[in-house]
Structure formats: C-alpha cells, structure tokens
Structure 1
Amino acid sequence: MRPFGNRDRVGYMFGDLANDLFFVYMATYLMLFYTDIMGISGHAVGVMFLVVRLWDALCDVAIGSFIDSRKPSPEGKFRPYLIRFSVPISVLGVLCFTYFPSMSEQMALVYAYLTYMVYGTLYSCVNIPYGSLASAITSNPLERTSLSTYRTLGAAIANIVIAFTVPKLIFDVNNVPQAGGFLTAAVLFAVLSVIFYYGSYKLTTERITAGYDEVPRVDWGETVRGMLRNRSLIAFIIASIIMLTVNFLMASLNPYLFKDYFKNGELLSWMTLIVLPVSFILLPTVKPLVARFGKKEVAAGALILTFVSNLLLFSLPHVNPWVYLAFQFLSLIGLGYITMLTWALVADIIDYHEYITGKRQEGTVYSVYSFARKLGQALSGGLAGFALGAIGYVQGLAEQPPEVAHRIKQVITIVPATGSLAIIVLLALVYNLSKERVEKLLVELEAQRGH
C-alpha cells in the first residue's frame, strides 16, 4: 500500500475545498438571495434556517450509523461517497440559487424549504464520510495533524475564492444583487466542487481497515454507553459548542461594534483582511509544535492568547479601532490553532472510542460530534438578537446612546474571554487524550486489533 504523503494531504484538502465552496457561499449569501431575490421575509428565512439545521443534525447521525452498518467496498469505507454524491449535491446547490420569477412568496418559501433540506441531506452524505476519512487515512498523530491543517487550508482557500468572486458576480454597478449573478456563482462552484471531490477520492488512501472484514451491526445502546464513557468526546463536544457560539456572536455583533462604537462601518472590511492570513501564518508552525507538546496541549496553550487579548480589550475603558483589530488578530491566532487541530483531535477521539468499545465506528462517532455542532449552531442562532435586546439596543435609531455602544464593546470582548477560558479548563481537566496518552493508545489499539 502506498505510504502516507503529500498526495493524501492535498487530496484531503480538496475534500474540504469542495465542501466549503457551497457551504460558505450558502452561509454568507443564501439569506440575501432568499430575501432580496425570492422575496421571502427575513422572519420566515430565520425559522427555515432553524428547522433545516435541526434536520441536518439528525441526518448526520442517520448517515453516520448507516455507513458503519455497511461493509466497505474495495475502494474503501468512506472515499466512494465522495464520488457517489458529488454530482447530486452540486446540482442541488445550483437549484438553491435558482430563481423563478413566476413564483408567489408562498411557493418560493416551499421551494426554498425543499431544495435547502435536500441539499442538507446530501451534504451529510458527503461530509460525514469525508470527516470520518481522516481517521482511516493514518493513525500517526503527526500525520493526522497535517491532515487537519490541510483541511483548514482548504476551507481558507474556499473563503478567499468566495470573498473575491461572489460580490463581483452578484452586485450590479448600483450595488443591487442580481438573480443571474447568484446562479452564475452557483454553477461555477458546482463545477469546481465536482472536480475537487474527484481529486479527493483519487488522491487519498484508506489504510486503517481494522474490523472491516464482516458487516458490522450498530448497537445504539452499546454505542451510547461507550460515548458516555468517552470523556474526551464529551469535553470536545462542549468545547466546540462554546467555540461556535463565540464565533457566531462575534460575527453577528461586529457590524454593530464598528457602526455604533467606532462610528465607522467601512472599517469592518479589515476584520476579513486579518482573518484570512491567519491560516497561512499558522500552517508551518502547527506540526512542529504538536510534535513537541501534543495536540490538546497546543490548542489549550494557544487559547490563553485569546483569553488575555479579549480580557485586556474588555478592561480598557476606551478602545481605538486599530487597537481592537490588533488585539483581535492575536485572539484569532489563539482560536486558529484549535480550529486547525479540531479534526485531528476528533480522529484521536474515534480511536479512543474503539479502545473503549472494541468497535471501529468512525462514521457514528463523527456524526454524533457533527450533530452536536449543528445543534449548537441552530440554538445559538438567536443569541446575538437576545444580546442586543439585553444591552438596550434600539432598532432604527440613527445613532445608539453611548452606554449602549459601550455595552456592545463589553459583550463582544467578555464572551470570547470567558469562552476561551472555559475551553482551556475543559481541555486541561476533562479531555484526557494528552500527547503521552495518545502515543500509548496507539500501541494498545495495535495489540487489541491483534496486529
């Protein structure tokens, strides 16, 4: 069998690039398409997003258990799904951004529900096997770290492509969104996604095949009991929900911060400019740091930078926008490490689950983790709105009172500070897969598998 190398890294990066071309496009622009092109009310769109994300979360668990209940094909347990669903998911992505002028608002809402829910189901059919694939490509901790960093790099590339192409396609000279532009972008991303899914399938190799000789049966009672004993899984699910909540709140409140506190909404574009380079700056440092200290140790240590940066911003009575951006750059470096290491940590958690239960259930474990993330996304959807209401924000005012603007600054800094501290505590005291434990775990698994 071909040894692990750059071919696997690039192939795994292609998988997330294919996923995120549409995922990020939808996360950023689908609501605008629904409201400004299809004429659906913002309230109806918000309810739809909540319903569809809950549906997606359930689909993740169903798909994960389905994969684990099937005997792998000669091409592998996970890779074939990238090919089987690459065209259907790309077609549904295009249909999500297809506008029919003759539709009433009610029919448009039904069409939006139908296409978005089917797309979400198909996304589970490729994302769950893709996410599980990392644990089957290699068992080496450093090699898994490189897969995780390349996956993050693929997401960064997708974000850059979308940031530089979509606004030029969808807005006319008067800054008005055009239906044809949305469709053109969707077709472009559909073609690219199919190409990158194929590249991911061709370039990666599944090497960890223990327990695949017979068709397994998923016993959910036994699986759940194993997961409840897997303290690393529980700790990381809670940590991921906290991290998603922090990221969502910051993304939602930053426009209000720059508009009402800094009195300069145009400076918000600088937030994007400091976010994009972080992945490229961190990429060469992740592997040597993990080799020296370990994955959970690097993630927890880097988050200290996020905690200190935001605590200092919270403590300062008045903050200059450039000072805020400088501290946020440091904060994002801290968050960047755990983001890059997330999928390597999940692969270790899958190994630990096999050690506890004696069964290799990559799809099921990954899908439960994904379910928790999506549930967190759905439940945190209204958090920013509740926060604005709690601090006294008055919609429609040309200028908010100074005390309200100050509270926005306090919320947007104290939440990341407390959130990062909570994740540090979870990683240090509950997540039990340290560098030494992971190394020992791999030896124990080899013996357990009879190798």
Structure 2
Amino acid sequence: MINKVSFKEKIGYGFGDAASSMFYKLFTTFLIFFYTDVFGISAAAAGTMILITRFWDALNDLIMGAIADRTKTKWGQFRPYLLWFSVPFAIIGVLTFTTPGFAENGKLIYAYVSYSLMMMIYTVVNVPYSSLIGVITSDSVQRTSLASYRYAFAFGGGILVQATLLKMAGVLGGDNEQLGWQMAVGIFGVLSVVFFLLTFFLTRERVKPLKQEKSSIKEDLKDLLHNKQWFILLAVGVFTVIFNQLREGAAVYYLKYYFGEQELMLFGNVWHLDYKALTGILVPVWTGANILGVFMATWMAKTLGKKKAYMVFMIISLVASLLYYPISPNDIYMLLLLQVVVGIAAGLPIPLMLAMFGDIADYSEWKSGRRATGLIFSSISMSQKLGSTLGIALTGYILASVGYSPNNVTAESQTGIRFMMSVVPAVAAGLSVVFLLVYKLNESYMKKVKDELNERINKV
C-alpha cells in the first residue's frame, strides 16, 4: 500500500531538520573553533572531550530508538518527542555555547558536562524525528522525496547558521566575543523550538507494524546485530559523515589561516573580506550546493539506483576534495568553484542514505517478521554522531600534532590545515565507496523484499 504524502506534510517534516541542523552545523562547522579560539581550551583537549562524550552518546541512539518504538500516545510513537523536548533542546544548546568564568580545567569540566547533556537531548529529539519518515509512508519513492525535503530544509538551517553566526556574534557581543556567541546561539535556539513544533503539528504517523506482537529490546538488538547489510550501510554512513565533518571543521581554520584577507571583485566593486566574511560566504556556498545535490537525489535514484548514484558522487567528492591542497591562497574563484562542485557531489548521497535505511527496515522485517523502525532509523543518528565524532576529534588531533596555536600559525600548522581540508576527507570518501561495493540491497533485491512483505500484509 502506497501512502501518498502532501506537499504541506513534506514541508512540515522538513522544518524538523531545519531545527536540528542549525545546532548540528554549530557543532560540525564551529564547535572546535569555538573551543580553541573563543572558549579557551586546547585543540587536543577539545578533541578528546568530543571523542569521549560522543562515542558514548552514539550508543545511546540505539537505546533511544528502541524506547521510541515502544512509545504509544494519542499523537503516535515519534511525534510526541518533538513536543516534549523542543524547549530543553534550545536551553541546553545555549548553555553549550556559554563560556563560564573558570580557569582552563574548570572550563574543560564545564564543556564535558554541557556538551554531554546537549548530545543526550539531541538524541532524544533527533532519533524519533529520523524514525518518523518510516511511519509517514511505506513507499520508497515517497520516502526519498521526503528525505529530499528533509535535507533541503536541513541545509537551509545550516546555511542560516554558517552565513550569520560569526558576524552576528560580533554585532551582539561587541568587544565581548563570548557574550556574542551566547546571544547568537540563543536566537537559533528560539527558532529551533518553533520549527520542531511545526513538524509536530503538520505531520502524521500512518504505517503500522505488520504484527502487533510484543518483542523485547534484546530481541530487536539481536535482529539488528545479525543484519550484515545494516553494518555495511552504517560504515558507509560513518565515512560519509567523516568526509563532510573534516571539511566543515577545517573550513574556518583554512579560510582564516591559509586564505586570510581577500579582495573580491563583484558587480564592479572591490570587496575587502576578512575570514569571518569569507566563512559567511564560502561555507554557505558549499551548503547551498548541497541542496542542489539533494534535489537531484530522487531523479538519480530512479535513473541509476540509490547504490550506484551514491558511489558515483562520492567518487566525484573524493577527486574534487584533493584539489583543495594545491590551490593558491590567492585563487578565491577556484575555491568558490570547488565549493560548488564538492557541495553538489556531497549533497546527493545524504537523502539517499535516509532512503537506504528505510530499505534496511523493510529488509529486517522481511527476515525476522518484526519491525523496529525506531531502532533501525536511530542508526542514522548513530552514524552521524560516530562520523562527526571521529571527524571533529581528528580535527583537534591534527591541529595539535602540527603545533596549532590560535592567531600564531606556523608554516607547519598551515600545511596541516591544508592536509586536513583535502587529503584526509578524500580518504574517508574512498572508504565509503569500498563499503558500498559489498552492499547488496539494490533496487531489484528490494523489489523482491517489498513484494513479499505486501503479500504478508494482504494475507493478514
């Protein structure tokens, strides 16, 4: 049975990831920079803190997915979490970007506590939100369309943060940079509450499990851990996120310490741009190009199939990423072109990943006779967190290994920053392609799975 989804509901679903993505981009693009250049702790300490807190939190995603699967309210299984936890999400988000008046050790403890709480509340909201696509509709094409809307809105929220944060913090805080960051994040927090509530009110849950028999979390986890295709797709997702995270985390450093101040000719005028202005232009260009890739996803999935389309564009991402190393710091236009090319290529796989986890949910039900939508879709958040964790930690460790010191960058540090922006992400992209080669759930295989599931439904 195909559950058609209205344009209004697709828009409503998209708002949820606009909310999540504003904070996700705060973490992926600015967090390590905030900790080293604003908050006041070392790159290595920040990297270790993020590695420890987020690895533990990534495991919580599976638990949260299982809990969400067992939630039963008049609003459904997954939507209520957007209503219940949107305000705590915003409050803790602001606290994460608040700088206390402590010495470095005290600041580090505060960072551990605030960031751990933020990741926990992010899990509580985002795992049910990610699972929602699996119960809005059962149709793979409709899910791909929903995924495209989701990530278009996600990138919209990300662009808003990337384009405005540094300048907004400067305006709101004046000479007090730490206050400026706190106030700017507060504005994004208010917006996130509004967006989560819009998703709650504009979406509906329709797809019910094939069988209403009760199963334990232990049984669901056993099914998952015996699902080889889940492990393969999880690895693909982790390395894809590492690719994106390394580039986003390195971008501010790359622009500040390699490109520096630039003069850009636009519309007959010469614009003098510092690193904040460059970040506000070039990083959103990458994210905006992601949106083009996202909207190509449905067409490419129909033309090549999800697996082949994913592989092609990750290979393009790999090759283009390598070009960031030899580029001259005076060639701002080549950098702009690369941002567009890599942005489009890296954007297309993201909604495909969401739709492919939908296939994993169907495949798991086909094999076991039990459906665990929340548990399966929690893997998306899990792969994001594992990939983002490794990417951010690598950023911190690479900076530390090349002797990075804020506002006092040596030639060695500059080379490390360039390497971090180009070669290391390319390796991650290559590894995602390797795992895709052994992933077997292509369109013909999934047609067999869906046909047999529909036969079971008709018999019931």
Q: How far, CA to CA, are the matches of 2:148 and 2:187 in structure 1?
A: 26
Cα contact 1:393–1:400 (8 A) shared by 2:
no
Q: Does 1:239 align with 2:233?
A: no
Counterparts of 2:391 and 2:183 in 1: how far apart (Å)?
Answer: 32
Q: Secondary structure at the match of 2:216?
A: coil
Equivalent residue runs for 1:55-70 within 5 Å: 55-68=56-69, 70=70
Residue of structure 2 in register with 1:13 after alignment: 14
Match of 2:228 in 1: 230
Deviations for 1:294-343, whole angstroms, at most 9, x for unmatched residues?
Answer: 22222222233224434677799999554354345323322111023221
Distance 1:332 1:115 in 2: 31
Residue of structure 2 equivalent to 1:133: 132
- Secondary structure (helix, strand or coil) at the match of 2:348 reads helix
Q: Which residue of 1 aligns with 2:164?
A: 165
The corresponding residue for 1:423 is 432
What's the counterpart of residue 282 of structure 1? 293
Q: How many residues of Structure 1 are paired with residues of Structure 2 in the alignment?
A: 443
Corresponding letter in the other structure for 1:420: A
SS of aligned partner of 2:448? helix
Q: Which residue of 2 aligns with 1:292?
A: 303
Give 1:91's aligned amino acid: I
Match of 1:349 among 360, 373, 386: 360
Report the equivalent of 1:88.
88
Against the structure 1 CA distance between its residues 313 and 223, is the aligned structure 2 distance closer, same or farther, given a 3 Å change threshold? same
By how many angstroms is 1:366 displaced? 2.4
- Does the aligned pair in 1 maintain the 2:28–2:249 contact within 8 Å? no
CA–CA distance in structure 1, aligned partners of residues 173 and 119 of structure 2? 33
1:444 alignment partner AA: E
CA 1:336–1:318: 2 relative to 1, 3 Å: same
Contact 1:60 1:128 in 2 (8 A): yes
Letter in 1 for 2:114: T
User: What is the distance in 2 between the residues matched to 1:179 and 1:317?
Assistant: 33
What do residues 234-260 of structure 1 show as CA deviations (whole Å, max 9, x unaligned)?
A: 222111222222223333445666677
Within 5 Å, which residues of 2 pair with 1:1-150? Answer: 3-30=4-31, 39-40=40-41, 42-68=43-69, 70-98=70-98, 101=101, 107-150=106-149
Aligned partner of 2:386 among 375, 378, 383? 375
Q: State how 1:170-319 maps to structure 2 within 5 Å.
A: 170-172=169-171, 176-211=175-210, 213-220=212-219, 223-231=221-229, 233-254=230-251, 269=279, 271-310=282-321
- Between the aligned partners of 1:260 and 1:36, the Cα distance in structure 2 is 13
* Closer/same/farther in 2, CA of residues 189 and 112 from structure 1, 3 Å limit: same
Check whether the contact 1:79–1:133 (CA below 8 A) recurs between aligned residues. yes
Q: Which moved more, 1:430-439 or 1:209-218?
A: 209-218
Output the CA distance in 2 between the equivalents of 1:104 and 1:318: 37
CA deviation profile, 1:117-160 (whole Å, cap 9, x unmatched): 22221211111111111111112111111111111112111122
CA distance in 2 between counterparts of 1:228 and 1:296 reads: 22
C-alpha distance in structure 2 between counterparts of 1:99 and 1:316, whole Å:
36
CA distance in 1, matches of 2:321, 2:36: 35
Q: Is the 8 A contact 1:304 1:420 kept in 2?
A: yes
CA spacing shift, 1:205–1:190, aligned 2, 3 Å: same
Q: In structure 2, the residue corresponding to 1:85 is in which secondary structure? A: helix
CA contact (8 A) 1:128 1:367 kept: yes
CA shift in 2, pair 1:2/1:379, >3 Å: closer
Give the SS at the match of 1:219: helix
Rate the CA distance shift 1:224–1:206 in 2: closer, same or farther, 3 A.
same
Residue 408 of structure 1: CA displacement? 6.6
CA contact (8 A) 1:72 1:212 kept: no
After TM superposition, the structure 1 = structure 2 runs for residues 302-451 of structure 1, keeping only pairs within 5 Å, are: 302-310=313-321, 322-384=333-395, 400=411, 412-427=421-436, 429-449=437-457, 450-451=459-460
Q: Could you tell me how far apart the structure 2 residues matched to 1:31 and 1:411 are?
A: 14
Secondary structure at 1:323 match in 2 = helix
In the alignment, structure 2 segments of 5+ residues that lack a partner are: 263-273
CA distance in 1, matches of 2:151, 2:124: 20
| C-alpha deviation, 1:284, in angstroms | 4.1
Q: 1:179 to 1:226 in 2, by over 3 A?
A: closer
Contact 2:32-2:392 within 8 A present in 1 as well: no
SS at match of 2:77: coil
